[in-house]
Amino acid sequence: MSDLSSEEEPEEAEANLGEYDGERNAEGERHGRGKALLPNGDIYDGEYEHGLRNGQGTYRFENGAFYTGNYLLNKKHGQGTFFYPDGSKYEGEWMNDQRHGHGVYTYANGDTYTGEWLNHNRHGQGTYIYKDTGAIYMGGWVNGRQEGEAELIYLNHRFRGNFLNGNPAGLGKYIFDIGCEQHGEYIHSEQEKGEVEEEEEPLFFGTPKWKASEITELIHWTPHGKKTSSREASQSSLHEVSSEVFSPDRDAGEEDEGNTGEELNPGQEEEGEE
């Protein structure tokens, strides 16, 4: 997210203050319904309370982004939808100007994330769908990265296991539509860079490698009713993923945070008072 401090408006002479057309209270504060053209070119059209955006409103940024939804004390808070300049969109819950709670983010490349958010990051349980490959990640997230127990679903097989810092890690298994499971673990090449504090997690470098340990049988089937022998299933499955690595073509997308402006803070908008 862009740095709010870098967008603060300087003190301006009265002649350069923003324009406001709307209701005011007895103290002359913006109160009720109104529309404001702010000093930086942004426009807010919605409800005010004692000079602050409060209630339903739409905030349009000069760069083309806009937010429509609920405000509390000048902050995005409650249900709202944000349309970003690159075409991506977030629709869901907000708290104190951040994505927080449950929401759906549609990325510019067509990927989608549906799930929990904390302090602007994907955090908790969520589902990420990769549009290009059709792969689906269902499971845990920590600070925007895939982490914890999860299931990664492909066209004709799926992986169940644990993730760490965006990659599969440790024990897991592949489940195949032909009716068998391959058990094993993902191995990371682990190395240290310089001195690492005892409490710090080791840094992982390189691509995680899948090491198969055994095949277990399930009820075998094929789409055309052809029976598959246990031996054929085992050999086919082992050959298919013995060297497989986690690669749904790319990592989960990043939210468009660098190109989006931010609303002026309470002090900034007060500078627009006429």
41-94 pLDDT, tens digit per residue, is 999 999 999 999 999 999 999 999 999 999 999 999 999 999 999 999 999 999
Q: What is the pLDDT of residue 254?
A: 73
Q: Tens of pLDDT along 14-25?
A: 233 589 999 999
Residue written as token pair 């349309």: 83
Q: What radius of gyration do the chain's Cα atoms show? A: 25
124 Cβ contact list (under 8 Å, min separation 6): 115, 116, 117, 118, 140, 141
Element (H, E) at 266: helix 266-270
pTM above 0.85, yes or no: no
Could you give the CA distance from residue 261 to residue 82 in angstroms, rounded to a whole number?
Answer: 11
Q: What percent of the chain has pLDDT over 70?
A: 68
Instruction: Give the start-to-end residue ranges of the domains of the chain.
Output: 154-248
260 or 266, higher pLDDT: 260
183 phi and psi angles, rounded to 5 deg: -100, 150
